[in-house]
């Protein structure tokens, strides 16, 4: 009850190739113009903004200047996208309202002493219901706040009175639930009812008794997850533009889903399938899954981006991006697909430090290295970060041999060979040092090397088990990987 309008502020990353997605989602939904006359007594000669919710953010849609009587008029030639909007002045929200009806011509009138409580609505049945509910809830919240404050004072000193307050709070909670259920029954086709339903949590029944006579301890989790979206229609774009939709999606993916790529891909597809009947909700969820995991700093989560791109963009379902951008996304995913965690590392055949000095140089194939673990180290002697990281890796390499069988395949990302050779000699780098002397740095595209240093770790079968990991993390990673391998 108390979280219904407690809006959460979160950030969502937007990669360069997807910036246009949010903008295109603002495409106006119909030809009917909107004309909103809003009067707020107590403000005058002030610029106000009409702002809508989208994902976890709010975006300005229109502006209007209040006259000396506090009268604003937001007006457009085409309809506004349906959802929840707010009026903002001086970066402060004055109040929310709904813009979900086909007729977007109505008026609101209130004052600064109590925006919701003094609201008068003309021409919008939905907003009459919306503010009716808000004002009823506000009264109950005041009652609850008074009881909570009283409870804090006496909970340690007067247990009997504290118990009475607890019972009253439970009674209030029950009263709110009963009111909401009655409201939704009276107005079954109202968007306000649909919005209220979306705020309700799933009620989990009693767990069944297993054959051993005990309650099923996993029942609550599985039931809750299976019914998580019973109250929220993922294909309703009106809900997409409220502060309810995105937090639910985020909660499901982050708290109800095992945080491994396979599970997140499966659950992402599940959400997208539920939203697919509406173009806007389908677009939002595909966009979010693509961008969120493309920019994730969690090792291995690039597999989710690859899945999204090869599933929805390659099949041309991502109608909101043009052909050129779609091609770039698919090419990027295809490039990453071969170097995902769990894939056999693409082979590298490179030359040692004798190349360019004598025709009798040695050639080393990455996949031919015999070692339980292989560290592929992409580095550049002129790189400042590499100059700090390489000595650490040397120290680690010497230390780790007593615990794990490790070989380093160090790829010099250089165009000038002599400075590379000199650094190797002076620092006495004790591993396999190679360079791509003939293929014009083709390895950079294969292994996605756009800066240095970069570390990949391969197992004895040359399967990629870690990538873009810091030297300080390698030993702990190998220890944990060994333990996990022993349990299999």
How many CB atoms sit inside 10 A of residue 262's CB?
Answer: 12
Contact 177, 38 (CB under 8 A): no
Summarize the confidence of residues 185-190 as an average pLDDT. 97
The angle subtended at Cα 115 by Cα 136 and Cα 146, nearest 5°, is 50
Lowest mean pLDDT among 19-33, 85-99, 256-270, 326-340: 19-33
pLDDT band with cut points at 50, 70 and 90 for residue 422 = very high
What is the structure's pLDDT at 158?
A: 87
pLDDT > 90? residue 420: yes
User: pLDDT (tens digit, 9 = 90+) per residue, 253-278?
Assistant: 999 999 999 999 999 999 999 999 99
pLDDT > 90? residue 469: yes
Percent of the chain with pLDDT over 70: 93
Contact 432, 468 (CB under 8 A): no
pLDDT > 70? residue 352: yes
Summarize the confidence of residues 349-358 as an average pLDDT. 94
pLDDT > 50? residue 26: no
pLDDT > 90? residue 27: no
User: pLDDT (tens digit, 9 = 90+) per residue, 112-132?
Assistant: 999 999 999 999 999 999 999
Q: Measured between alpha carbons, how far is 153 from 73 in angstroms, rounded to an integer?
A: 48
Lowest mean pLDDT among 4-8, 88-92, 326-330, 425-429: 4-8
pLDDT band with cut points at 50, 70 and 90 for residue 151 = confident
Stated pTM of the model: 0.87
What is the structure's pLDDT at 434?
A: 97
Summarize the confidence of residues 220-248 as an average pLDDT. 97
User: pLDDT (tens digit, 9 = 90+) per residue, 37-47?
Assistant: 999 999 989 99
What is the structure's pLDDT at 316?
A: 96
Summarize the confidence of residues 212-230 as an average pLDDT. 96
Contact 463, 438 (CB under 8 A): no
């Amino acid at each position: 009850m108390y979280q219904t309008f407690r809006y959460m502020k979160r950030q969502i990353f937007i990669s360069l190739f997807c910036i246009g997605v949010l903008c295109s989602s603002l495409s106006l939904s119909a030809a009917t113009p909107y004309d909103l006359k809003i009067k707020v007594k107590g403000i005058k000669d002030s610029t106000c903004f009409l702002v809508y919710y989208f994902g976890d953010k709010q975006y300005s849609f229109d502006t209007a200047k209040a006259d000396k009587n506090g009268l604003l008029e937001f007006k457009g030639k085409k309809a506004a996208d349906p959802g929840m909007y707010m009026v903002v002045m001086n970066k402060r929200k004055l109040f929310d309202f709904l813009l979900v009806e086909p007729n977007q011509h109505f008026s609101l009138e209130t004052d600064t002493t109590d925006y919701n409580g003094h609201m008068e609505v003309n021409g919008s049945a939905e907003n009459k219901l919306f503010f009716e509910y808000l004002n009823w809830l506000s009264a109950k919240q005041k009652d609850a706040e008074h009881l909570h404050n009283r409870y804090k004072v006496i909970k340690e000193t007067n247990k009997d009175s504290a118990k009475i307050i607890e019972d009253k709070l439970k009674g209030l909670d029950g009263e709110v639930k009963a009111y909401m259920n009655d409201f939704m029954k009276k107005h079954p086709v109202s968007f306000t009812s649909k919005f209220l339903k979306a705020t309700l949590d799933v009620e989990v029944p009693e767990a069944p008794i297993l054959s051993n006579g005990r309650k099923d301890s996993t029942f609550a989790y599985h039931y809750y997850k299976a019914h998580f979206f019973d109250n929220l229609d993922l294909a309703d774009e009106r809900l997409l533009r409220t502060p309810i939709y995105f937090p639910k999606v985020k909660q499901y993916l982050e708290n109800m889903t095992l945080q491994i790529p396979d599970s997140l891909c499966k659950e992402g597809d599940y959400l997208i399938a539920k939203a697919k009947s509406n173009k806007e909700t389908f677009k939002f969820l595909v966009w979010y899954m693509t961008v969120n995991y493309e920019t994730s700093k969690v090792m291995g989560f690039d597999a989710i981006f690859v899945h999204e791109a090869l599933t929805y963009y390659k099949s041309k379902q991502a109608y909101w991006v043009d052909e050129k951008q779609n091609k770039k996304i698919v090419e990027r995913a295809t490039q990453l697909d071969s170097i995902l965690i769990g894939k056999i590392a693409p082979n590298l055949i490179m030359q040692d430090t004798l190349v360019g000095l004598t025709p009798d140089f040695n050639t080393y194939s990455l996949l031919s290295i015999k070692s339980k673990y292989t560290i592929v180290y992409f580095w550049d002697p002129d790189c400042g970060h590499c100059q700090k990281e390489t000595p650490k890796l040397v120290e680690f390499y010497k230390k780790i041999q007593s615990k794990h069988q490790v070989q380093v395949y160090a790829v010099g990302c250089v165009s000038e060979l002599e400075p590379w050779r000199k650094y190797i000699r002076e620092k006495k780098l004790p591993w396999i040092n190679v360079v791509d002397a003939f293929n014009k740095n083709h390895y950079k595209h294969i292994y996605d090397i756009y800066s240095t240093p970069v570390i990949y770790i391969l197992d004895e079968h040359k399967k990629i088990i870690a990538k873009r990991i810091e030297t300080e993390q390698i030993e702990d990673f190998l220890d944990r990987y060994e333990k996990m391998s022993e349990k299999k």
